[in-house]
Amino acid sequence: MNNRACYTANSAASTLLVLRHSSNSVGIVQSVAPNGNLIELEPESNGLDTMMRIDSTAGSFTDFYADFYHQLKNPDEFSFFKVTEFEAHETARGLQDYVNSSSTVEKEELKKYEVSIDTVDALRNKKNLDIDGVGRGSSYKESNFVAVNPKYRFQIDDVNWDAMAEIGLDKETLEELGVLECLLKGYKTSVLVPVKCDSGISGDTVGARLQLKLDDNGEVVVHVHRVQKRVDFRKKFFGHRFSKEDRVNLLSCGNMGRVVELVNPATGEIVPSLVSLDNLTNELFSLRMEFVRIPKVICGVDLSEDQKEILRSGKQLYVENMLSKSKRLFNATLQFNAEKQWVEFFFDNKVKVQSFSDGIEVGIPTTFRGKYLRKWQMDKLRAGDTAYISGLISEKGKEYQGYICFDRVERRILFSFKKPR
């Protein structure tokens, strides 16, 4: 999300303070990362130029806040408070002092002052009904009301389905693959989706990650991140020449592990950044250091300033006695991922976790013997169950079917013609 999109020239701009429920920490909202994670500023940070600026008028604010809120991956983990940009730092410090010294009952009083998404959605729906209902009956207004799902950044009708058809996809296929909701929320698909190749051969497909975005004209377009065969580390990446250690780190864990100075090709600006590799598509991604945000608390463990600085610099950090969602203690190595724009976990067996908010979960392959798995099949494998699979093609071109399960020790899919007992 662009933190400048709603700036007004009359200096009456507002911004948002955020209270994280898990850590009781207060920050100033900067933006939302593409993966839905919140990016915030410390109350002690200097300057107004990086905080989010919002048009203070009622109609503009409700439209903005609804879009902002529904881009968040886990919005229930936060409370937001609207303040003017010039009082943001002072108010944030005061709010932090109040939270630190208040009882649970006193903290509940803050609900009176936070921005309620239910109220915002109700105001927006009422406004839309008032506009759309002019000269129409009440039945029209009712159907218009339920046509929009406020949980999503994009609606079904926003999608250019003709463009989707050009890459071999439609609404039903996206639903079957379990990626439609992810796309409508504005996230990049977490699994590979089969799209048409540029080879011109009928029926030829390649795996890709998809994401819906707005172009410069405000139109919804689909970004296709096709799988690349390999990364050519001989080529410079925005002026950076990869060392042998850089290559080893990117290929082994997906993160380069250090801050490097990249060159903006348009302006020539030197940009300190972290670099990561998308292991699904073999694409390289960079993230400016100003957008690298390390949480104060991860899975119940308070990070020291030294620990936060280690993660911020791209290095790995081993942390013990973290608490999972199932209330079990675990240890893991943490590292910031520039592509996901969040902290990810590594365990001794090298199995990765996307982010600490996702819970601990082994990555399931999205394909088996050239066939893309459906969401229900992946869900069964993830739960340790056996899934039926058909439409597999042998080397002799004959179709066959059977049963698959996921071996968590060897981290691969096993096949059997007969259903295991």
Q: Could you tell me if 372 and 344 lie in one domain?
A: no
Domain end point (choices 94, 115, 136) = 115
Residue 352: pLDDT band by 50, 70, 90 thresholds? very low
On whether residue 132 sits in a domain, the answer given is no
φ, ψ of residue 367 to 5 degrees: the values are -130, 155
What span, in angstroms and rounded, lies between the C-alpha atoms of 237 and 313? 19
Q: Is 410 or 266 the better-scoring residue by pLDDT?
A: 266
On whether residue 291 sits in a domain, the answer given is yes
Residue 130: pLDDT band by 50, 70, 90 thresholds? very low
Q: Could you tell me if 267 and 177 lie in one domain?
A: no
* Chain centroid offset of residue 260 CA: 24
Q: Could you tell me if 270 and 353 lie in one domain?
A: yes
What span, in angstroms and rounded, lies between the C-alpha atoms of 212 and 186? 6
Query: 127-163: string of b/e by CB count within 10 Å (b at 16+)?
Result: eebeeeeeeeeeeebeebeeeeebebbbeeeebeeee
Q: What pLDDT does residue 306 have? A: 93
For the chain, how many structural domains are there in total?
A: 4
On whether residue 393 sits in a domain, the answer given is yes
DSSP-assigned letter for residue 145:
H
* Chain centroid offset of residue 48 CA: 26
Residue 176: pLDDT band by 50, 70, 90 thresholds? confident
Q: What pLDDT does residue 151 have? A: 61
**Boundaries of domain holding 298:** 244-358
Percent of the chain scored above 90 by pLDDT? 22
Q: What pLDDT does residue 139 have? A: 33
On whether residue 6 sits in a domain, the answer given is no
Q: Would you call 339 helix, strand, or coil by DSSP?
A: coil
Lowest mean pLDDT among 128-137, 176-185, 210-219, 246-255: 128-137
Written in H, E and C, the secondary structure of 60-75 is: HHHHHHHHHHHHCCCH
Q: Could you tell me if 257 and 352 lie in one domain?
A: yes
Are 7 and 60 within 8 A, CB to CB? no
Q: Is 291 or 165 the better-scoring residue by pLDDT?
A: 165
Quote the mean pLDDT of the chain: 79
In degrees, to the nearest 5, what angle opens at C-alpha 123 toward C-alphas 91 and 62?
Answer: 45
Residue 144: pLDDT band by 50, 70, 90 thresholds? very low
Domain end point (choices 115, 135, 165) = 115
User: Beta 270-278 vs 283-288: how paired, if at all?
Assistant: antiparallel
Q: Could you tell me if 256 and 279 lie in one domain?
A: yes
Prediction pTM value: 0.54
On whether residue 4 sits in a domain, the answer given is no
On whether residue 301 sits in a domain, the answer given is yes
Q: What pLDDT does residue 286 have? A: 93
On whether residue 111 sits in a domain, the answer given is yes
Q: What pLDDT does residue 366 have? A: 73
Average pLDDT over residues 331-351: 81
Does residue 353 have a pLDDT over 50? no
* Chain centroid offset of residue 285 CA: 14
Tell me the CA distances in angstroms from 342 to 258, 263, 290, 300, 314, one per residue in order.
15, 23, 13, 17, 11
On whether residue 53 sits in a domain, the answer given is yes
Q: What pLDDT does residue 240 have? A: 95
Q: Which range among 8-17, 182-191, 304-313 has the greatest average pLDDT?
A: 304-313
Does residue 245 have a pLDDT over 90? yes
Are 176 and 94 within 8 A, CB to CB? no
For 197-239, what is each residue's pLDDT tens digit?
775 555 678 888 999 988 777 788 999 999 888 888 999 999 9
Q: Is 145 or 409 the better-scoring residue by pLDDT?
A: 409
Q: Could you tell me if 334 and 260 lie in one domain?
A: yes
Q: Could you tell me if 19 and 111 lie in one domain?
A: yes
Q: Could you tell me if 99 and 188 lie in one domain?
A: no
For 278-330, what is each residue's pLDDT tens digit?
988 899 999 999 888 888 888 888 899 999 999 999 999 999 998 887 788 88
Q: Could you tell me if 346 and 381 lie in one domain?
A: no
Tokens read off for 265? 């090709």
Q: Could you tell me if 111 and 175 lie in one domain?
A: no
Q: Could you tell me if 25 and 105 lie in one domain?
A: yes
Nearest to 19 by CA among 107, 80, 97, 91: 80
Domain end point (choices 358, 380, 396) = 358
Which residues fall within 8 angstroms of residue 417, CB to CB, at 6 or more apart? 400, 402, 403
For 375-421, what is each residue's pLDDT tens digit?
788 888 888 889 889 888 877 778 888 899 887 766 678 888 887 76
Lowest mean pLDDT among 44-48, 78-82, 316-320: 44-48
Q: Enumerate long-range contacts of 277-281, CB under 8 Å, 24 or more apart.
A: 277/231, 277/250, 277/251, 277/339, 278/209, 278/225, 278/254, 278/339, 279/254, 280/191, 280/192, 280/207, 280/209, 280/227, 280/366, 281/192, 281/207, 281/208, 281/209, 281/225, 281/226, 281/227, 281/228
Does residue 136 have a pLDDT over 50? no
Lowest mean pLDDT among 31-40, 144-153, 218-227: 144-153
Q: Could you tell me if 351 and 383 lie in one domain?
A: no
